[in-house]
Homo-oligomer: A and B are copies of this chain.
Amino acid sequence: MTGHHEYQGQALTEAAKGALVNAGEQWTEMRAQIFDALAQAGGPASAYDVADAVSKNRGKRVAPNSVYRILDLFVANNIAKRVETQNAYIANAHPECVHDCIFLICQDCGGITHLDDDDLANSMRARAAGTGFRPDNPVMEVRGTCESCAA
């Protein structure tokens, strides 16, 4: 399992920074703050949640579009993921591995579990490709109830 490690806290920030720098992007103060806000949310956060958090932290308002720009950059570089059905973002705990990931979204508590299942993802891609479609970005998100909420 070389290369697949789940980071947290400071190590996560470092991993994210490494990934961005490695891709030839800059790790600016603004980007660091946005990533931290996302990581500290500990769950899905909307762009506006992040904007509010960062605005408060630095005492100066950040405009939504700045946040969107940076979140898009994060997603493009795999240090964050977008949860499509929730209009939300989460920090990616293992930026080194590229997966079509699966999100389990609890409709009770709002919590999100992140799975990677390449078999399933590949089946999905194959099924699409079988119809002549060229798959690019499979979105696999399951709404339901998490174990603790189901009790």
* Interfacial chain B residues near A91, Cβ < 8 Å: none
A69 at the interface (CB under 8 A from B): no
- Contact A127 B147, CB 8 Å, known A136-B107, A138-B142: no
Instruction: Establish whether residues B147 and A128, one from each chain, have CB atoms under 8 Å apart when the complex forms.
Output: no
Instruction: Establish whether residues A127 and B144, one from each chain, have CB atoms under 8 Å apart when the complex forms.
Output: no
A141 at the interface (CB under 8 A from B): yes
Chain B residue, CB-CB nearest to A137: B143
Copy count, this protein chain: 2
A140 at the interface (CB under 8 A from B): yes
Instruction: Establish whether residues A131 and B115, one from each chain, have CB atoms under 8 Å apart when the complex forms.
Output: yes
Give bound CA distance, A145 to B133, whole Å. Answer: 6
A151 CB to closest chain B CB (Å) equals 10
Instruction: Establish whether residues A127 and B117, one from each chain, have CB atoms under 8 Å apart when the complex forms.
Output: yes
* Interfacial chain B residues near A84, Cβ < 8 Å: 84-85, 139, 141
Instruction: Establish whether residues B137 and A145, one from each chain, have CB atoms under 8 Å apart when the complex forms.
Output: no
**A residues lining the B interface (CB < 8 Å):** 84-85, 102, 104, 106-107, 113, 115, 117, 120, 123-125, 127-128, 131-147, 150
11 pairs of residues in contact across A and B, judged by CB atoms under 8 Å = A84-B85, A84-B139, A85-B85, A104-B135, A115-B128, A120-B124, A125-B142, A131-B147, A132-B150, A134-B146, A134-B147
